[in-house]
Amino acid sequence: GAVVSQHPSRVICKSGTSVKIECRSLDFQATTMFWYRQFPKQSLMLMATSNEGSKATYEQGVEKDKFLINHASLTLSTLTVTSAHPEDSSFYICSAIPRGIAGTDTQYFGPGTRLTVL
Amino acid sequence: GNSVTQMEGPVTLSEEAFLTINCTYTATGYPSLFWYVQYPGEGLQLLLKATKADDKGSNKGFEATYRKETTSFHLEKGSVQVSDSAVYFCALRESGGYQKVTFGIGTKLQVIP
């Protein structure tokens, strides 16, 4: 089946630094990728929709300058948390829709990245 | 806005027990409904889905029926196995062109031998 990887799986950083999280579709091309955030004991919250070659679409309340998304190729999207603070500590999950497939029924999820900001 | 409510868990069952994980939703229009499963260390996987009222989704012995009158999509399995231990997420996708998916909180299931 289709596989989506995320790197790193865990990251700890100091407050004020920036952290980049990669999301890769390993065996398919993805024109659309999604970034989610999950707080403890809460559901996944969609942060933004990333389309290859164009600017990401952010959900209401998500700071574009804080969470930089770059979908530079059909197999890679990156999320950069800039000037991270402890409140940015969370579990970040990406998903990808294979190129040529319509509908989010076939979105494939990565295993997630645990970010801890000290 | 749209929302999905499911039991928080964890749910602990003995092998071969009957499983029910409740899920109710709030949405405008006619959403599609999903159950996703996340095994330890892996990403979410689509378990089953239903796209209209009275549809029953099924996969790997799991079933869920789209009940519009009660706005529910409860997940059931007649006999759970240790390998079913995972986190289960109920979700909906709003009708129309926008493909946004709203997830529930996730319910952790632990099946003991």
B82 φ, ψ (degrees, to nearest 5): -55, -35
Average pLDDT taken over every residue of chain A: 90
Gap from A5 CA to chain B (nearest CA, Å)? 9
Cβ atoms of A30 and A98 closer than 8 Å: yes
Residue entry with tokens 């089953």: B48
Residue A100 has pLDDT above 90, yes or no: no
Residue A86, C-beta contacts closer than 8 angstroms, at least 6 positions apart: A15, A117, A118
Residue A105 has pLDDT above 70, yes or no: no
Exposure of B29 in the CB half-sphere (CA atoms within 13 A): 13
Gap from A106 CA to chain B (nearest CA, Å)? 8
Neighbours of B12 (CB within 10 A): 12
What is the H or E stretch that residue A15 is in? Answer: none
Which residues from chain B sit within 8 angstroms of residue A60, using beta carbons? none
Of A44, A103, A105, the CB nearest to B103: A44
pLDDT one-digit tens code per residue, B22-70: 999 999 888 999 999 999 878 888 999 999 999 999 999 999 999 999 9
Of A43, A109, A110, the CB nearest to B104: A43
Neighbours of B94 (CB within 10 A): 18
| Confidence at residue B101, expressed as pLDDT on a 0 to 100 scale | 85
pLDDT one-digit tens code per residue, A70-79: 988 899 999 9
Of B8, B43, B101, the CB nearest to A104: B101
pLDDT one-digit tens code per residue, A15-45: 999 999 999 999 999 988 999 998 877 788 9
B83 three-class SS: helix
Mean pLDDT of the region B74-97:
91
According to DSSP, the β-strands at A10-13 and A113-117 are parallel
